[in-house]
């Protein structure tokens, strides 16, 4: 019996990937294959921002486990032509049309037919459409045009940036007020100030900060968390009226982060942004995108909560610091 292989980057696991998984579940001997390396086409937009292959495989396995398909669909990783040549017998390959698939079809699959004399078949899935009618694709998510559910975002013209290792310890922040733990639980005084000053928008960055503010009875307009604290994984789960998941690695700011944060700030619904990676620098987009009289809150480990007022002075500071971060070029 022929095996069935779904070939895809599986970058920013999205609705289109779920459709492929659904199709694979109906086929004989299904395998979801995460591609990379020489099997990836040269025309990918923001190729340098594709998630590391280990993260893509982990997210795929977690999704299969969540949907109870992990016992019926195998997961493999293929980065070289030889990986596909090692598959024995005839195969049904399931793909979406795009740069990666063109590379695979003209390279590895053509070589399989010539060298192994197999009779492979290729099924191209119908493109999944985003809410704006365009194709739902990982490249559009990397660009910040849409999210993983296909919802239209506000977009951004900001390039991806990364803070060099040598500059991370000396990074400064916009001017803010520290509510110190030495004076008692800082969240109590922060929430009291929120009630007294009524900020236009409250953005809480960090799991502990968001959790303590919530427990004190205030729900920020936007919460940005990554599930990590100084002491390890943060087990508490957050909920909100609207939820986004983004990929933003440590010491970097990606276009999708800019776009999602901007969308969340403009949304009337309370929004939770779940970050795969780290939210360590996402206070910068928050300060630059939030309206005047907003407040960006973040935790300073072992010291307290910092309140950054959003004003023209702090926007200038944030922009100056941001421009010192090198742009990531694909």
Encode pLDDT of 84-100 as tens digits. 989 999 999 999 987 66
In order of their start, the domains of the chain are 3-143 (3.40.50.620), 161-323 (no CATH)
Is this model's pTM higher than 0.85 or not? yes
pLDDT value for 170: 57
- Is-contact 222 233, C-beta < 8 A? no
User: Is residue 324 very low, low, confident or very high in pLDDT (cuts 50, 70, 90)?
Assistant: very high
Tell the residue number behind the tokens 């780290």, with chain if given. Answer: 278
pLDDT value for 294: 98
234-236-237 Cα angle (round to 5): 120
pLDDT of 291 over the 80 cut:
yes
pLDDT value for 169: 60
251-256-261 Cα angle (round to 5): 90
pLDDT value for 103: 67
pLDDT value for 68: 98
Tens-place pLDDT, residues 147-175 = 999 999 999 999 999 998 665 665 667 88
Q: Is 171 exposed, middle or buried (0-12, 13-18, 19+ CB in 10 A)?
A: middle
Q: Which residue has the higher pLDDT, 62 or 101?
A: 62
């Amino acid at each position: 019996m022929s095996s069935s292989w779904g070939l895809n980057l599986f970058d920013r696991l999205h609705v289109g990937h779920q459709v492929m998984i659904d199709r694979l579940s109906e086929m004989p001997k299904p395998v979801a294959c995460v591609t990379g390396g020489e099997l990836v086409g040269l025309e990918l937009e923001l190729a340098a921002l594709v998630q590391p292959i280990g993260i893509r495989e982990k997210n795929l396995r977690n999704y299969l486990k969540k949907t109870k398909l992990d016992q019926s669909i195998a997961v493999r990783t293929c980065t070289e032509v030889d990986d596909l040549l090692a598959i024995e017998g005839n195969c049904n390959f399931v793909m979406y049309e795009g740069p990666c698939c063109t590379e695979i079809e003209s390279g590895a699959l053509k070589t399989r037919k010539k060298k192994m004399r197999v009779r492979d078949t290729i099924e191209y899935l119908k493109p999944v459409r985003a809410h704006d009618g365009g194709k739902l694709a990982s490249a559009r998510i990397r660009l910040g045009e849409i999210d993983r559910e296909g919802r239209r975002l506000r977009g951004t013209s900001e390039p991806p940036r990364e803070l060099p290792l040598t500059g991370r310890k000396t990074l400064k922040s916009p001017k803010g007020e520290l509510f110190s733990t030495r004076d008692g639980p800082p969240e109590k005084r922060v929430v009291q100030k929120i009630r007294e000053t009524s900020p236009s928008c409250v953005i809480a960055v960090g799991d502990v900060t968001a959790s303590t503010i919530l427990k004190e009875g205030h729900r920020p307009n936007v919460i940005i968390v990554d599930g990590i604290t100084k002491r390890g994984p943060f087990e508490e789960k957050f909920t909100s009226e609207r939820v986004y998941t983004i990929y933003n690695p440590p010491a970097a700011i990606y276009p999708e982060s800019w776009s999602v944060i901007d969308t969340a700030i403009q949304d009337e619904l309370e929004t939770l942004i779940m970050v795969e990676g780290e939210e360590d620098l996402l206070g910068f987009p928050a300060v630059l995108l939030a309206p005047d009289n907003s407040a960006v809150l973040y935790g300073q480990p072992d010291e307290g909560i910092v309140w950054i007022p959003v004003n023209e002075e702090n926007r200038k500071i944030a922009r100056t610091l941001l421009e010192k971060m090198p742009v990531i070029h694909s």
